[in-house]
Amino acid sequence: MSRLPRRRLSVLVACAAAAALALTGCSSSSSNQDSQAAKATTVAEAGGMDALVAAAKAEGQLNTITLPANWANYGNIIQTFQNKYGITINNANPDGSSQDEINAVTQLKGQDRAPDVLDLGQSFAIGAANQGLLAPYRVASWDQIPGNAKDTQGRWASDYGGYIAIGYDPARVPVPPTSLKDLLDPRYRNQVGINGDPTQAGAAFAAVYAAALANGGNFDNITPGVDFFKQLKQAGNFVPVKGSAATVQSGQTPILVYWDYLQVSQVQAQVPNYKVTIPTDAAYAAYYSQAINATAPHPAAARLWEEFLYSTEGQNLWLQGAARPILLPTMVANGTVDQAAYAKLPPAPAGAPQYPSDAQQTAAKQVVSQQWAQATGS
């Protein structure tokens, strides 16, 4: 994911440094890793849903990371899960990034405070899978998830998403931009922001991919997107800070290139008359992916969390946060969609959105990592 100010890794205390309580946590983590749930790749292998719920309740905890309450309705999702199952969610570092999540998995391995589950931008999910950090697990609704939106080994799956959009405060931006190329206009000097560093944050990476599509690039060639932001910086229009509702309110970045659903749920709620539009020159859509830490200290709760998120209840909670759940077509077809929330979605471009493949995203991420700092000086 990476997300809103998405998130600096907070200091977490290692088991070895925290005396008896932490030592107990380490022991608990080791014991849980030997459980039936830790080896389960489906709910059936966990003994069925009733057995999975019982095992998760016995663990009593779920460690999440980098989930802001105002990100795609996560506040309500977390509370609903806790109320439903009586399991306490410990959400670390809510303002971190997708890379911070991966760092936490590696740095806290074997500790009771390690993340159980991850919510990652897809390119970061692919990277984590390639590092062997993710556990294979297929939720009950796995077959309904499109083939290009899930890992063939079950290590991650897309869950919710939307389109990269241009948002702007009309009080500070009287002439609205309608395309990404518009943002090069001198009238937008010192006004354009994205959600941080695209080598660290999934939302910012998506903004670069969208810019590539708008400037002659394609899923195999993200370099025009990097070049676009280089031009934007040279023109004095790009503000190299982590764009957010706060930076829009302050006037630091009255224009954001960011996910449509987060512009709606985060910024529109705080900035009067804030407008959101999908650019005419780039319809780039993507999903965030869910995954389970391969050494999760609470493996049953981790798997139950995944089942919850991909249930009709969980998918409709994403929809209520203005995001597009991965099972939306299925729920529309079978009549289980929240019709009121569905009607409020920002209009989407015509035609089915196209997505880069795993290989394309991996290659694009490498290009951005190599070129971004030199291109933008950030």
Residue 122 is predicted with a pLDDT of 87
Establish how many alpha carbons lie within 13 A of residue 187's alpha carbon, considering only the half-sphere containing its beta carbon. 8
Cβ atoms of 253 and 243 within 8 Å: the answer is yes
Cα-atom radius of gyration of the chain, to the nearest Å?
A: 20
Our CA angle for 352, 354, 359, nearest 5°, is 155
Angle between helices 358-376 and 223-234 in degrees, nearest 10: 20
Residue 30 is predicted with a pLDDT of 58
Q: Give the pairing of strands 192-194 and 255-259.
A: parallel
Cβ atoms of 303 and 293 within 8 Å: the answer is no
> From CA 259, how far away is CA 203, in angstroms rounded?
7
Residues 6+ apart with CB under 8 A from 349: 163, 278, 283
Tokens 């708008």 belong to which residue?
214
> From CA 254, how far away is CA 167, in angstroms rounded?
8
> From CA 75, how far away is CA 167, in angstroms rounded?
23
Q: Give the pairing of strands 61-65 and 88-92.
A: parallel
Domain locations in the chain as residue ranges: 19-160+286-343, 162-283+352-376
Residue 353 is predicted with a pLDDT of 76
Q: What pLDDT digit, counting tens, does each position of 159-215 carry?
A: 999 999 999 999 999 999 999 999 999 999 999 999 999 998 888 999 999 999 999
Residue 132 is predicted with a pLDDT of 98
- Report domain 19-160+286-343's class: alpha beta
Strand stretches in 77-156, DSSP E: 88-92, 117-121, 134-135
Q: What pLDDT digit, counting tens, does each position of 201-224 carry?
A: 888 999 999 999 999 999 999 999
In 3D space, the residue among 1, 3, 5, 2 whose CA is nearest the CA of residue 252 turns out to be: 5
Whether the model clears a pTM of 0.85, i.e. scores above it, the answer is no
Residue 50 is predicted with a pLDDT of 98
In this structure, which CATH number among 1.10.1520.10, 1.10.1760.20, 3.40.190.10, 3.40.50.2300 belongs to the domain 162-283+352-376?
Answer: 3.40.190.10
Burial of 177 (0-12, 13-18, 19+ CB in 10 A): buried
State which residues of the chain have pLDDT below 50.
1-28
> From CA 366, how far away is CA 347, in angstroms rounded?
32
Residue 202 is predicted with a pLDDT of 86
> From CA 134, how far away is CA 151, in angstroms rounded?
11
Sign for the pseudo-dihedral over CA of 225, 195, 73, 247 = negative
Q: What pLDDT digit, counting tens, does each position of 82-98 carry?
A: 999 999 999 999 989 89
> From CA 90, how far away is CA 71, in angstroms rounded?
16
> From CA 93, how far away is CA 113, in angstroms rounded?
12
Residue 289 is predicted with a pLDDT of 97
Residue 29 is predicted with a pLDDT of 58
Bridge-partner residues for 157, per DSSP?
Answer: 150, 290
Residue 243 is predicted with a pLDDT of 95
Q: Which residues of 364-373 are buried (b: 16+ CB within 10 A; e: fewer)?
A: bbebbeebbe
In 3D space, the residue among 126, 152, 123 whose CA is nearest the CA of residue 138 turns out to be: 152
Cβ atoms of 298 and 32 within 8 Å: the answer is yes
